[in-house]
Amino acid sequence: MSRIVVITSGKGGVGKTTTAASLASGLARAGFKVAVVDFDVGLRNLDLVMGCERRVVFDFVNVINGDARLNQALIKDKRLGNLSILPASQTRDKEALTEEGVEQVINDLRDQFDYIICDSPAGIERGSHLAAYHADDAIVVTNPEVSSVRDSDRVLGLLASRTRRAERGDAPVQEYLLLTRYDPQRVKRGDMLSVEDVQEILAVSLLGVIPESDVVLNASNAGVPVVLEENTDAGQAYDDAVARYLGDERPHRFLQTERKGLLGRMFGGS
Partner 1 sequence: MGIVDFFRARRNRRDSASVAKERLQIIVSHERAEQGGPDYLPMLRQELLEVVRRYVTVDPDAVRVDVERDDSHEVLELNITLPEQQEEV
Ligand X SMILES: Nc1ncnc2c1ncn2[C@@H]1O[C@H](COP(=O)(O)OP(=O)(O)OP(=O)(O)O)[C@@H](O)[C@H]1O
The nearer residue to ligand X, 125 or 170, going by C-beta atoms, is: 125
Q: Is 217 in the site for ligand X (CB under 6 A)?
A: yes
Report angle CA 217, 221, 141 to the nearest 5 degrees. Answer: 45
Nearest to residue 46, comparing CAs of 57, 34, 56, 58? 56
Q: How many residues sit close enough to ligand X to count as binding (CB under 6 A)?
A: 21
Site string for partner 1, 114-153 (x = CB under 8 A): -------------------------------xx--xx--x
Nearest to residue 146, comparing CAs of 193, 181, 110? 193
Q: Stretches 12-20, 44-52, 190-198, 224-232: which one binds partner 1 (CB under 8 A)?
A: 190-198
CB 52 within 8 A of CB 78: yes
Q: Which does 216 bind (CB under 5 to 8 A by kind): partner 1, Mg ion, ligand X, none?
A: ligand X
Q: Is 161 in the site for partner 1 (CB under 8 A)?
A: yes
- Give the integer Cα–Cα distance in Å for 224 and 212: 17
Site string for partner 1, 203-222 (x = CB under 8 A): --------------------
The nearer residue to partner 1, 89 or 152, going by C-beta atoms, is: 152
- Give the integer Cα–Cα distance in Å for 174 and 170: 11
CB 2 within 8 A of CB 114: yes
The nearer residue to Mg ion, 141 or 187, going by C-beta atoms, is: 141
Identify residue 127 by its one-letter amino acid code. Answer: G
Q: Is 185 exposed, middle or buried (0-12, 13-18, 19+ CB in 10 A)?
A: middle
The distance of closest approach from Cβ of residue 151 to ligand X in the complex, given in angstroms and rounded to an integer, is: 11
Q: Is 210 in the site for ligand X (CB under 6 A)?
A: yes
State which of residues 86, 122, 193, 224 lies at the interface with ligand X (CB under 6 A): 122
**Within the chain, where are the H helices?**
16-29, 46-50, 60-64, 70-73, 99-112, 126-133, 146-161, 164-168, 184-189, 195-202, 214-222, 233-245, 262-267
CB 10 within 8 A of CB 182: no
Site string for Mg ion, 10-49 (x = CB under 5 A): ------xx--------------------------------
Please list the residues that pair with 115 across neighbouring strands: 3, 34
The nearer residue to ligand X, 165 or 175, going by C-beta atoms, is: 175
Q: Interface with partner 1 by CB under 8 A: which residues? A: 145-146, 149-150, 153-154, 157, 160-161, 187, 189-194, 197, 200-201, 266
Q: Interface with ligand X by CB under 6 A: which residues? A: 9, 12-18, 40, 45, 121-122, 180-181, 210, 212-213, 216-217, 220, 234
